[in-house]
Structure formats: structure tokens, C-alpha cells
Amino acid sequence: MVRINNVTELIIAGLFQDPEVQRACFVVFLPVYLATVVGNGLIVLTVRVSKSLRTPMYFFLSHLSLVEISYSSTIVPKFITDLLVKVKTISLKGCLAQIFFSHFLGVTEIFLLVVMAYDRYVAICKPLHYTNIMSHRLCHALVASSWLGGFFHSIIQILITIQLPFCGPNVIDHYFCDLHPLFKLACTDTSVEGVVVLANSGLISVLSFLLLVSSYVVILLSLRNHSAEGRRKALSTCASHLTVVTLFFGPAIFLYMRPTSTFTEDKLVAVFYTVVTPMLNPIIYTLRNAEMKVAMRRLWGKKENSGMEQKWESD
């Protein structure tokens, strides 16, 4: 059934209404976005050209950084440019596109974090079989599955949303397009759609988070059989990953595992996971990672060949 929409353009309420506060936010968030792109881009480049980082862990990390750049670029450039204009608008099609890509990339990141936890589980709990298990083929299959999983999740969200009629009002109570605030503008009851979104977004977050926590409990228990030096190295790697997991899943579960009627206070939480967290990830992974810091120093010192080579031997 075709829905006829009277609304073709949406007005974005934004984060704050005070022009002075908006300009201050622009001054703060523009450098944060640039740092996100540069920091994550440097990780991608370093992993691609550094001989010392040809392992599954860094292969997954490079894809995570690529997702962070893409996810942040889906939301933040529009957000920070809107801070300089009085009336913030976006077409309905543009809004749907932003929802598609933000959910596609967000869920892809969730699956990549699960994959990275599995990689650490195999490396720590089954070290003698690590090379055989985490083969070239499996690593690429896991990454491809993560991207495909995010794509199919987002397609479901969009198929739900495009069937809704929008006939006014057209003011979206947020600083970017997302499902909950858009549902509030629909000229029909969206309680069923809200339940489907809850199942599709919230349960993915919760189940993935529980799987991640369980995997790290197993890892921590297995460390009792390792040497002190082995425990220190494993804990250092796991601490970085657990920090990123907490920063990502905390806001996601907070936003999506609640009824849509309590949405109005969520803007500042959304700023954290759309603007701040993507910038923090490269800092977290490099500050505690000696191999990455050494590789970056070599990259900047031009001590390595910049040509991309095979990540590891083909099966």
C-alpha cells in the first residue's frame, strides 16, 4: 500500500536554542570531529602499511576505525553546520538516508566488537590453535558478516519507517534523524513499530553485550593459568577493548531499551555516542598498545614502505 506524505521537509530542533551556546558547541565539536577522522584514519593507514601489524586483531581494529569514521561522518558534519544556521532543515528522504546509514554502521560496529572479543578469546584461551582457527579466510568472513549483519538490520528499520504516513507536524525533536523522534511525527499509531524497533535494535545491543561480558569472564578465568607477564599483556589488551565496549553499549542500551514516550531527555546521551566516543576509540587503543605506538612512530618517520602487502599468508 502506497502512503502519500504531505511532509517532504523536516525541521530539526537541534541540541540547544541559544545562538551563543550553539556557536560555542561548534567551536568544541568541530575539532572533535576532525580528531575522530584523523585519529581513526591514522589507525587504518598504520595497519595497512605496517609489517608488524599483520595479525587478525589489527585487521579487525582497522575495520572498526573505518566504521567509526563513516558513522561519525553520517551525523556530525550536518550537526555542526546546523549549529551556525537559525533554521535547521533536512528532506524526508535525507532523514531516511541518515537513519539507514547510522543504524547500518552502528550495528556493524556492534558485530565487529563481538568479533574482536572472539579473537581475544581464541588468542588467550587457545593460543596453540590460534593461527589455525583465526585463518585469513575466517577473518575476512567474520568482517564481511559484520557488515552484512548491519546492512540487513538497517534495511528492516527502513522498511518499517517508509510505510508510515507523515502529514504534519514536521519538527523533529533531535539534532539528527533517528527512529524514535521520527515515529513521533507519524500520523498513525506507531506502538507496533516501536516494539519491532525495540526487538531489532535493543535486543541486538543487549544480547551482544551479554555475549561480550560472558566471553571476557571466560578470558579472565583462564588467565589464572598464565604467567604474570602473560596476564599483564592479556589484561592490557582486554582493558582497551572493554573500555570501548562500555562506552558504546552503555548509551545504546539506555536509548533503545526503553519506551519511545520517554525520549525527550536523550539528546546529551546521543551526543556522547555520536560525537565523543568515535574520537576516544583511537586514543584508547593506541595509548595502551605498544605495538601500535611503535608502528605509528615508524609510519611518521617514514621507516616503513608505504605499499600495502598481504595481511597474512593465504590458506
All three cell numbers of 56, joined, read: 587478525
Q: What is the pLDDT of residue 261?
A: 47
pLDDT at res. 263: 52
Q: Which pLDDT value is given to residue 307?
A: 44
Give the per-residue pLDDT at 218: 86
Burial (0-12, 13-18, 19+ Cβ within 10 Å), 229:
exposed
Say which residues have a Cβ less than 8 Å from residue 187's Cβ, sequence separation at least 6: 164, 165, 166, 167, 168
**How wide is the angle at C-alpha 314 spanned by C-alphas 308 and 315, nearest 5°?**
165
Within its chain, how far is the Cα of 296 from the centroid? 23
What's the pLDDT at 310?
44
Partners of residue 11 on adjacent β-strands: 89, 171
pLDDT of residue 300: 72
pLDDT attached to residue 308: 41
Residue 271 confidence (pLDDT): 87
pLDDT 10s per residue in the chain (315 long)? 455 567 788 999 888 888 898 999 999 999 999 999 999 999 999 888 887 788 898 999 999 999 999 999 999 999 999 999 888 999 999 999 999 999 999 999 999 999 999 998 898 888 888 999 999 999 999 999 999 999 999 999 999 898 888 887 888 888 999 888 888 888 888 888 888 887 787 778 888 888 888 888 888 888 777 677 767 777 777 777 788 888 887 776 676 665 554 455 678 888 888 898 899 888 887 766 777 878 878 777 754 444 444 444 444
